Structure 1
Amino acid sequence: MTGDGYRDRWVECGERGLRIRGYYFPWGTKAIPYGRIKGVRRVDMDVFSGRGRIWGTSNPRYWFHLDPRRPSKTSGLVLDVGGYVHPFITPDDPAAVEAAIRAHTARTAGGGA
């Protein structure tokens, strides 16, 4: 991670927005401008709330990007982008991604860093 940015195999926080690799079938990337992110919420995962989900969903309100290492992770982030479906991401460092998103969305809303 550098500055307000972040990057791992599946999640990247850049200057303009968040990029989620492996979001669309078969390997498509979802780009979300920071201005579309209305909220971010950290979620503890267990076998019934995401750890067993490698890709896709069993609950139409949440969409999990591809992450073969998700079963070994304990927390993820749910993004509110103003729609019915909320992207559920599991970066390697959820705290760093949450901080980067909050820093960028504060700037987008005019709140400063």
Structure 2
Amino acid sequence: MTDESTTSYDDGGISCDDQGLTIRRYYPWGAKRIHYTSIKGVQKLPLTGANAVHRWRIWGSGDFLHWWNLDTNRPRKDLALVIDLGHHVRPTITPDAPTAVERILAEHIAAQLNQTAQPNQERRR
């Protein structure tokens, strides 16, 4: 079996291809793969002001809500993305280009919503 996916973003820790999001160094033993169809939403989390304490979370969870992959450069970053998978604990990432990753995720989420809405519209006709 060959992998036919095309990578649209990769900074070494986070990658997006046409099938989903890969968060490297998520687990002690490796990466977490999330298919776009599993993503319910994405929220920006500024790592400034009251949230500045999160920028020092190098790996793991300090609040049992966010799970941070290992990113030793996080203290120098200003924005995180919280991935809603419909579970209590949410993967939280700090890509090097958060705006690009947010755009990619939003495009795939919108495409998914359009696909699920089209069959419903067809039935109404």
Q: Which residue of 21, 32, 35 corresponds with 1:33? A: 35
TM-score w.r.t. structure 1 length? 0.89
Alignment match, 1:56: 60
- Count of residues in correspondence between the two structures: 107
What percent of counterpart residues are identical? Answer: 41
Query: Is 2:7–2:15's contact at 8 Å kept on the other side of the alignment?
Result: no
Say whether 1:94 aligns with 2:98: yes
1:4 is displaced (CA, Å) by 8.4
Change (3 A) 1:13 1:42: same
- Alignment RMSD: 1.6
Say whether 1:65 aligns with 2:85: no
C-alpha deviations, 1:53-80, integer Å up to 9, x for none? 1101111111000100000001110010
Looking at structure 2, the residues matched to 96 and 105 of structure 1 have their Cα atoms a distance apart, in angstroms, of 14
Tell me which of the two structures has the higher relative contact order, counting C-alpha pairs closer than 8 angstroms and 6 or more residues apart: 1
TM-score w.r.t. structure 2 length? 0.81
What are structure 2's unaligned runs of at least 5 residues? 1-5, 116-125
What are structure 1's unaligned runs of at least 5 residues? none
